Amino acid sequence: MEETQDKSYKEYLSQITSFIFDVDGVLTDGTITVTTDGEMLRTMNIKDGFALKTAVDAGYNMCIISGGSNEGVRKRLAGLGIKDIYLGAHNKIEQLQEYLTSNTIDTSEVLYMGDDIPDYPVMKLAGLPCCPQDAAPEIKAISKYISHKDGGKGAVRDVIEQVLKVQGKWNGNFDAKYD
């Protein structure tokens, strides 16, 4: 945790039922490798993936809202059990409202992690707006929590682990699962 931040964000952790994440700059480091065929490749952190799967398995609502439209990203996230994946979302508020309405979720229960200007309007509505440490200054300014990790380097794991630990769902019974 960053010691310089207002610690009041911890008060929100017990209320979180839903996680919403951007992709580029949050689940990835924002780097895109373009192949000679024009395919855009992204790299995701396996520890972030473990945390996403753990939260899904623990019954949390999980949603991805991204302006990008890479089908490889959709396959990776669907493989972790995430059903609500909005790619090519140019109006993230519209996607957020659709998701919240269809799942009867109040904004106060939502942790949203974004990193750049397209996330700004959505983050203003979330109960717990968060960002990676390498997010844009405007996003840091409205975040109640700034991870000590960069995007694509464990920031997603950081916030998920904090919520699940506060709610007593992180360590579960890992020994029984992995014996």
Domain count, the chain: 1
pLDDT value of residue 171: 74
Tens-digit pLDDT profile for residues 27-76: 999 999 999 998 889 999 999 999 999 999 999 999 999 999 889 999 99
Q: Is residue 100 part of a domain?
A: yes
Query: Is 7 contained in some domain?
Result: no
Task: Establish if 32 belongs to a structural domain.
Answer: yes
In a domain, 179, yes or no: no
Parallel, antiparallel or unpaired: strands 18-21 and 128-131: unpaired
- Separation of alpha carbons 133 and 155, rounded Å: 8
The C-alpha angle 93, 96, 102, rounded to 5 degrees, equals: 140
Which domain, by its residues, includes 127?
12-171
pLDDT at 141: 98
Does residue 3 sit within a domain?
A: no
Global pTM reads 0.90
Low-confidence residues in the chain, pLDDT < 50: 1-4, 176, 179
What CATH number does the domain containing 72 carry?
3.40.50.1000
- Tell me whether residue 4 is in a domain: no
